[in-house]
Amino acid sequence: MVDVSPHELVPEHTILEEDTLEEVLTEYDIDRTDLPKIKRNDPALPDDAGVGDVIKIVRNSRTTDQAVVYRLVVE
């Protein structure tokens, strides 16, 4: 498989640490399963991402400079 992560159009994907995840879930008053999903075989995911991990995606945005979104890795 081709590594797409260095491409300029692929936003930064990082695995969220558990303590940071708890802060995010508390801030938004949601459960982990309420997050939008991303498939484990998505080529943009870090190699060490596993099912159940939460990924922080930082995208460039014209209106807010950067947009941060979170996704739950599923099978």
Where is average pLDDT lowest: 2-6, 18-22, 39-43?
2-6
Give, in degrees to the nearest 5, the angle at Cα 51 between 28 and 49: 90
How far does the chain reach from its first CA to its final CA, in angstroms? 18
pLDDT in tens, 27-64: 999 999 999 999 999 988 988 999 999 999 999 988 98
Write out the DSSP string of 12-41: EEEEPPHHHHHHHHHHHT--GGGSPEEETT
Number of domains in the chain: 1
Tell me if 65 sits within 8 A of 29, measured CB to CB. no
Residue 32 forms part of a structural domain: yes
Q: How confident is the model at residue 4 (pLDDT cuts 50, 70, 90)?
A: confident
More confident residue, 2 or 62: 62
Predicted TM-score of the model (pTM): 0.86
Domain span at residue 68? Answer: 12-73
Residue 4 forms part of a structural domain: no
Residue 7 forms part of a structural domain: no
